Amino acid sequence: MASDALDLERFFEALRAPKRVDGVCPFCGWTEERWREEQLLGCPLCYSVFSDVIATKPEPQPS
């Protein structure tokens, strides 16, 4: 239970932190490069952190 509280504290600290530093989510460490490769995000905060990147990423073209 204590570790859950620490995770929440860390999450809320990350919300107050800059959006991203050097293309990295301040909460989970997920990178913009990794998102581009895998098309997955590492945590809920990534949606906010990478919102501008996600919005400009073109949809994959069907083969």
pLDDT for 62: 64
d(CA 27, CA 59): 26
d(CA 24, CA 32): 6
pLDDT for 48: 86
pLDDT for 6: 65
In the predicted structure, residue 38 carries a pLDDT above the cut 80: yes
β-pair partners for 33:
none
The H or E element containing residue 4 is: helix 2-16
pLDDT for 53: 85
d(CA 63, CA 52): 26
Percent of the chain with pLDDT over 90: 13
Domain coordinates of the chain in residue numbers?
18-56
